[in-house]
Amino acid sequence: MRIVITGGAGFLGSRLAAKLLQRATLTDARGQVREISSIVLLDVAAASPPDDRRVRAIAGDLTDRESVARAVTPDTDTVFHLAAVVSGQAEADFDIGMRVNLDATRMLLEHCRSLKTPPKFVFTSSLAVFGGTLPDPVPDDAPVTPQASYGAQKAIGELLVYDMTRKGFLDGRSLRLPTVTVRPGKPNKAASSFASGIIREPLAGVDTCCPVAPTTTMWVQSPRTVIDNLIVGHEAPASAFGQTRSINVPGISVSVGDMVAALRRVAGDAVAQRVRWEFEPAIDRIVSTWPARFAPVQGPALGMRADADFESIVRAYIADDM
């Protein structure tokens, strides 16, 4: 079985590859359990693949047809589409957000459906497809009302995945991920980047600023659990889906103040005191449009799960990335 992961050089892409290697098998679009023989990591930046003969990295722009064709060959069985321009950057630069998050996604889908045997397609969407006035908590059938460019681009991607699936062009599913924290590495341009920074930087002995109020509440999930849920979404049979292929992935609702309190319980006062509160309206405008509580039903029915609490998320980061 041949698998392609776009955004394969990113921390989720690399973790997904490692988990798939450990798992060794997946179910293809025909419902057959197959041994994983090849994983291709496609990213604009060169990935550092695991030392495993089954893994190959391809550096290429997802907006370039030749790069996509070089990675997604006719024998590809599954595509995990993780690559995207993050929320803050998509809002600040409308054109690059549309080019990468929408145009490249459509081109990738079109390429997949052109193959003699189209692959199974897993699209990482976002809770940012929701916004404005919504029920609290948000049910699975809530209207999609994005309030920022990133959410709008993800919502359009979901509709493309669903319509191509409805037409029988491929077997797609869109997984609306919570905010993923704690992300290792350096801060990025995502509006939610601070949700990792207020844990990661203090644990590394670095002062950091939180740009939103302590009362700001977010729907979050750890990298460990996100990877598990991506695989659950892939493995779910087509018969398990109803009139949509878009799934609200389970998470936990936690305020930013409670995130710092969890850090304090795990690492002590000195570490937690490295978080300073400096309000940034541009970040708050984006984050405040995201719902903070969901009531997912279909995701858990498929076998997806949430983390136990935020303290366990902090401990998982220390165990996995420090």
Q: For the segment 215-254, what is each residue's pLDDT rounded down to a tens digit?
A: 999 999 999 999 999 999 999 999 999 889 999 999 999 9
Q: State the residue range of the domain holding 62.
A: 2-180+222-250+294-307
The pair of three-digit structure tokens given for residue 318, joined into one six-digit string: 């220390």
Alpha helices in 167-276 (DSSP H): 194-203, 223-235, 256-267, 269-272
Residue among 78, 74, 65 nearest 8 (CA): 78
Q: Is 200 a domain residue? A: no
**AA identity, residue 147:** Q
290 pLDDT band, cuts 50/70/90, is: confident
Mean pLDDT (the chain) is: 95
Q: Please write the tens of the pLDDT for every residue from 99-136.
A: 999 999 999 999 999 999 999 999 999 999 999 899 99
Distances (CA, A) of 81 to 105, 109, 140, 172, 318: 8, 10, 22, 11, 28
Q: Is the pLDDT of residue 96 over 90?
A: yes
Please state the rounded mean pLDDT for residues 297-310: 97
259 pLDDT band, cuts 50/70/90, is: very high
Q: Is 35 a domain residue? A: yes
Q: Please write the tens of the pLDDT for every residue from 8-49.
A: 999 999 999 999 999 999 999 899 999 999 999 999 987 777
Q: Is 245 a domain residue? A: yes
Length of the chain: 322
Q: Is 156 a domain residue? A: yes
Which residues have C-beta within 8 Å of that of residue 130, sequence separation ≥ 6?
138, 142, 144, 145, 146, 151, 290, 291
Q: Report, as residue numbers or ranges, the catalytic residues.
A: 150
Quick one: pLDDT at residue 50?
Answer: 78
What is the number of alpha carbons within 13 Å of residue 231 lying toward its C-beta? Answer: 19
Q: Is 193 a domain residue? A: no
CATH no. for residue 54?
Answer: 3.40.50.720
Question: Dihedral of the CA atoms 266, 272, 275, 281 (nearest 10)?
Answer: 60
Q: Is 208 a domain residue? A: no
Quick one: pLDDT at residue 46?
Answer: 78
CA dist 145 and 69 (Å) reads 33
Q: Is 140 a domain residue? A: yes
286 CB neighbour count, 10 Å cutoff: 23
Secondary structure of 308-322 in HEC code, one letter for each residue: CCHHHHHHHHHHHHC
Give the total number of structural domains in the chain: 1
Enter the pTM of the model.
Answer: 0.94
179 pLDDT band, cuts 50/70/90, is: very high
Quick one: pLDDT at residue 132?
Answer: 87
Q: Is 132 a domain residue? A: yes
